[in-house]
Amino acid sequence: MEIKILEGAEAFSLGEGPVGALLVHGFTGSPQGLRGLGAHLAERGIAVTAPRLPGHGTTWQDLNTRTADEWVESVETAFHAMAAEKDEVFLVGLSFGGGLVLDLAARYPDEVSGIVTLAGMVETKDPRRHLAPVIRKVLKSLPGVGNDIADPQGKEIAYDRLPTSAAYHMLGFLKRAKLGLGAVTAPILVLHGRNDHTVLPFNAEVIHSSVGSTDKELVWLERSFHVITLDHDRDEVFDRTYRFIVEHSKALES
């Protein structure tokens, strides 16, 4: 049976040029959360691709049948396709997508020109994490974590339920992503909302302090919650992401 993709949640590719940016969305979210950023970059000469992670942008029940290996493969496939066509590839990950791009960068250090994490996630201190193996056998879902946005105009296409089996696989992957941070050597920009309720801000400090990169910067956004690409500071997020790519690109004129 074909699963219907929610309107607006589709994967997208925009722009053209020698430099590419791979945009990876978060857990229970969709490419929609990155579309504004993608358009901003594409209008300025950077080709962007935002894959839809398996089980996302459809139903939470669909996501509950998926595993971390599928999400990793989806990102890696998109990365290799872009790397085959572009002189340089930058990785941009929102929330759990930040964990996915950091894991990718740790495994392909010589092929990544730079990384931007947007409210990037590599760890959680939610006490329920210890019970995840049990919870998924008892409950199919829990209340969702989407739309942690200060701006009342901001709206994320995200599930209103958190699928527990998928969450178990997500948590397992985060351990691997965090362990691999020392192998990340590409220049990195870490952007995080100071008042993020979903991926607590300590994640930004863990990423910034643990990566092996010598060129790294941590920037706090004071007016936004979690989905910083759709929140009050989105223009700053767009601008800083673009400037980071230009400043670290050999193919673009800064």
Q: How far apart are CA 13 and CA 201, in angstroms?
A: 30
214-220 contacts: CB < 8 A, separation 24 or more?
214/185, 215/187, 215/188, 215/248, 216/187, 216/188, 216/189, 216/190, 217/188, 217/189, 217/190, 218/190, 218/192, 219/189, 219/190, 219/191, 219/192, 220/192, 220/193, 220/194
Question: Catalytic pick from 95, 141, 165, 249?
Answer: 95
Q: How far apart are CA 17 and CA 252, in angstroms?
A: 9
Question: Catalytic pick from 25, 30, 192, 196?
Answer: 196
Q: Is 226 a catalytic residue?
A: yes
Sign of CA dihedral 174, 175, 178, 179: negative
- Is residue 147 classed as helix, strand or coil in its secondary structure? coil
Contact yes or no for 245/21 (Cβ under 8 A) = yes
Q: Is 165 a catalytic residue?
A: no
Question: Catalytic pick from 25, 226, 232, 248?
Answer: 226
Map tokens 């009342």 to a residue.
152
- Is residue 33 classed as helix, strand or coil in its secondary structure? helix
Q: Is 196 a catalytic residue?
A: yes
- Is residue 238 classed as helix, strand or coil in its secondary structure? helix
Provide the annotated active-site residues: 95, 196, 226
